[in-house]
Amino acid sequence: MKKHADAEPMATPSIEKRRMYSECLGGSQLKKSEPKAFRFTVKSKDSHGIELMKAMVKTKVNPVEMRIDITTFKGLRNGRLLIETHNRNEIEVLSKTINETCGDELEASTPNVGFPDSSFTMFQTN
């Protein structure tokens, strides 16, 4: 029996891109494509509970009416309320509004990003 030339399997050279060690340990690519979240916390001045603080923000400030897209709205263990959005301007507007309307009961604060100490000096060798 005669075999056809196109029926024979052909060995094709496989070229694989070698990954660097740091790429293997770097995690998945999904982490890099996630949008950045901007957050701030709301603290009660009169030791109100988290549920009461949530209700005050929802009724007095009403972020839905302001058209602010809140991604996270949850209570933390230390008694603060965490609010996250995808836009820094929304954070600034919402925190300013909370401080103005509920300033006697709630305090909104944006956490500062910590930067390394710039006073660190390198040792010079002669």
CA distances from 98 to 20, 28, 63, 104, 106 (A): 48, 37, 10, 10, 7
Dist. CA 63–CA 108, nearest whole Å: 14
- The tokens describing 19, both together, are 């990954």
What is the structure's pLDDT at 74?
93
Dist. CA 124–CA 39, nearest whole Å: 41
Question: Which range has the worst mean pLDDT, 2-6, 35-39, 76-80?
Answer: 2-6
Using DSSP's 3-state secondary structure scheme, residue 41 falls into: strand
Domain ranges in the chain are 50-107
pTM of the model: 0.62
Question: Which range has the worst mean pLDDT, 10-14, 49-53, 65-69, 100-104?
Answer: 10-14
- pLDDT tens string 15-25: 667 877 777 77
What is the structure's pLDDT at 81?
93
- pLDDT tens string 75-108: 999 999 999 998 899 999 999 999 999 889 999 9
Q: Taking all residues of the chain, what is their mean pLDDT, rounded to a whole number? A: 79
